Structure 1
């Protein structure tokens, strides 16, 4: 059984055929998914979905690109929602230096606030990182995020950075890019990071794996990620599926 640790089934791209998308995922052995909300509308939709489907759980946080829009009231709201039995993580949060909507210092402040919240409510953190690796590592250390740990979502860094994150109690999650023919770093990470420290995800509707690259991603494709990791590690698909599912359930506190 597979566990997709990062889906955006709350995205508009799934508004027409959500039932069929979920059915296809279940047919491929995906038994559990975490729906990630990262602003007001997507958090509300994530909460709706987890109320409706028993195999869906929610992560709630504020995306770094939109950090400039987050108010203290929003943070308070996230804290209140975090006590819901199906909320299993804070995030996605982090830093994104690719887009310039939110200034770096505001992103960093909002990131720190969410790390502190995660520690307060005792939930793991889901980290979004784009072109900001060193600042993310520094802030996680300064805020002692190791206390709750979490996930380096759709990890694109080097094996060296991966080991640094493991030391801070963060698991490494790999998605579609590990299947791309020219993706050297994710493949090296898949080979080097112990299976007990790996998770799998789609980040759907984004980052579809080969051979669907460039098309809408969906949770059923997480099987392709697991198959690629199995091939790179020289182990069975079943072992990857079982171990990454066990890792995810342990991290999220799902029995």
Structure 2
């Protein structure tokens, strides 16, 4: 009987309503396929506790706390005062200090959302500064804003690094993030043949810089368009990455799992 490679889903919105009806069954199925651990990113203050509750209920699940750029408009509307900013900062800082969140995020910049970009920048900078203060890794969302994200990271140089979630870019951009101490989150994008630039990048950078992620319930793999994505499909992403890099699935699993454990200070070994 062959032993399944151990995998870690470094980014899965497992707290979202899409999993409310069968969360236990999905996690049991994923673990049978070798997915031993999973990280739920934070998106907004009202969600942090719910994610924490799920992580407490399910072995192998951890979570982070942060403010996602898609939630910025909902949180602050059209105006972001200094008082509101400090309130959000204090709330996030307190959460990170009093609960076992493994990272700050999901935070970042997105030019395709309806949130004011200046407000996004202000809240992103606040979270990067908190990550530096508390020596926590960052989970970063970046969509069409690599220049701005890179500029802020160069300014602050977060000591604990982090991951660029759902990386989609060139080898040059990938190498820039790696030089800044960041990993690249690799998910369903690489399963699409049309993603030439990203597929090339994941072949040319060191495997020691890559993490596997599902981003479930979003970012379905090629052939599953329109379906709910799931951590159960993480082994499929690992297989595609192995094919692209011409390496064994075992090597891909071993190194990406080691990378996730190192970045997020996760426990080693199978969990009950």
TM-score of the aligned structures, taking structure 1 as reference length: 0.95
Cα drift, residue 59 of structure 1: 1.1
Structure 2 residue 91 is matched with structure 1 residue 86? no
* TM-aligned CA distance change 1:84 to 1:6, over 3 Å: farther
Report if the CA contact (8 A) 2:33-2:235 is conserved.
yes
Q: Gaps (5+ residues) in structure 1?
A: none
Cα drift, residue 20 of structure 1: 1.1
Instruction: Please list every run of at least 4 consecutive aligned residues from structure 1 whose deviation after the TM superposition is greater than 2 angstroms.
Output: 65-68, 70-75, 83-86
CA distance in 1, matches of 2:222, 2:28: 21
CA distance in 2, matches of 1:187, 1:221: 18
Structure 2 residue 221 is matched with structure 1 residue 209? yes
1:12 matched residue in structure 2: 17
CA distance in 1, matches of 2:19, 2:228: 9
User: For 1:38-69, what per-residue CA distance to the aligned partner results, in whole angstroms no more than 9, with x for missing partners?
Assistant: 11232121111111123111111001122242
Report if the CA contact (8 A) 1:174-1:200 is conserved.
yes
1:67 matched residue in structure 2: 72
Report if the CA contact (8 A) 1:207-1:214 is conserved.
no
CA distance in 1, matches of 2:103, 2:45: 16
Question: Over aligned residues, Cα RMSD in angstroms?
Answer: 1.3
Q: Gaps (5+ residues) in structure 2?
A: 1-5, 77-83, 268-272
Aligned to 1:111, which of 119, 124, 140?
124
Alignment of 1:1-255 (within 5 A): 1-68=6-73, 69=75, 71=84, 72-84=86-98, 86-100=100-114, 102-145=115-158, 147-255=159-267
Name the one with the larger strand percent. 1
- Secondary structure of the corresponding residue to residue 32 of structure 1: strand
CA distance in 2, matches of 1:203, 1:80: 26
Report if the CA contact (8 A) 2:69-2:109 is conserved.
yes
